[in-house]
Amino acid sequence: MTTLERPTSLPLGKAINAGLRRAMENDPKVLLMGEDIGKLGGVFRITDGLQKDFGPGRVLDMPLAESGIIGTAVGLAMRGFRPVCEIQFDGFIYPAFDQIVSQVAKLHYRTSGNVKIPMTIRVPYGGGIGAVEHHSESPEGYFAQTAGLRVVTCSNAADGYSMIQQAIASDDPVLFFEPKRRYWEKSAIDLDADASYPLHRARVVTEGTDITLIAYGPLVATARKAAEVAAHEGLSIEVVDLRSLSPIDFETIEASVRKTGRLVVTHEAPVFMGLGSEIAARVSERCFYNLEAPVMRVGGFATPYPASKLEKFYLPDVDRILDAVDRCRSH
């Protein structure tokens, strides 16, 4: 096998590749499965070079049948393997929806805990790449609402590298959402570090005192930029990277809200019934007397994802986030 160099920074996509490699080196039961993930290395080249180094018996090119990929992985997981399935694009996950919510999520419960399903489902998600229909969706809410599934998403290379290893090591099924428009963005990473930060803990990525801004996945970078713009106007925004969508780390959220007294939540998925709804409701219940204003939400609209020429109007940007910040402060 080739030995990875230890650079000081990597793009998110390369970091996930490195995390997959390390997981496969550490455990021969880890298998990769997906469409065109072998010789091609996947549409986004996340599995590039892994079939060459580990062989076609561990990096499997599967038929174009998402339900078949997930169903096969369920059987492998029941037999002690740790399959990692790639869904080529977010909008392609729906043919496998029944397998995921009816089988993957329920087998452990159905067998009174006697059967474990240690499988990971990788899902490139979100917009911003100018793609066609079914290539830019944010379906994470469907799975976060499904008991029996863990749902996580990374926003940077260091988290991508560590979180994919933690997901694969979990004895529970994990939906691992990868923000595809951030695949090429570099950030600092230590490839020799152990994955010690808890998988389901949020992270405060920008300290602040005036208002809490919660984001995850592709919008963490946007939220941090909004905080930078606001800082020039004398406003201190605390940005929290949620990281885990199920379970949600309400302890970190509540601590931040109690400090700032105000909360804005943003995500690419539609505002209606999105993750922001649950966060707003829980914070209103638990931090009612700390809130100085209603919780504001910024997200996609209640429409199908638009054509690429219109997606800039659909995706939350710095201006839309700061508008919500201003409305929150005005109360």
Q: Which residues are catalytic?
A: 135
In whole angstroms, give the CA distance from residue 118 to residue 231.
44
In whole angstroms, give the CA distance from residue 82 to residue 76.
7
In whole angstroms, give the CA distance from residue 162 to residue 65.
29
Q: What tokens appear for 66 in the block?
A: 């998402």
**Contact of 253 with 227, CB cutoff 8 Å:** no
Q: Which helix (H) or strand (E) holds 230?
A: helix 219-231
Residue 30's beta-bridge partner residues? 82
Q: In this structure, is the dihedral angle defined by the CA atoms of residues 225, 293, 327 and 311, taken in order, positive or negative?
A: positive
**Would you call 272 helix, strand, or coil by DSSP?**
coil
Task: Annotate 4-73 with DSSP letters as a single string.
Answer: PP--SEEEHHHHHHHHHHHHHHH-TTEEEEETT-SSS--TT-TTTTHHHHH-TTTEEE--S-HHHHHHHH
Residue 265's beta-bridge partner residues? 214, 297
**Contact partners, residue 189, CB within 8 Å, separation at least 6:** 7, 8, 9, 10, 15, 157, 158, 161
What is the residue whose two structure tokens read 């595809």? 180
Q: Is the bond into 304 cis (omega within 30 degrees of 0)?
A: no
In whole angstroms, give the CA distance from residue 255 to residue 244.
17
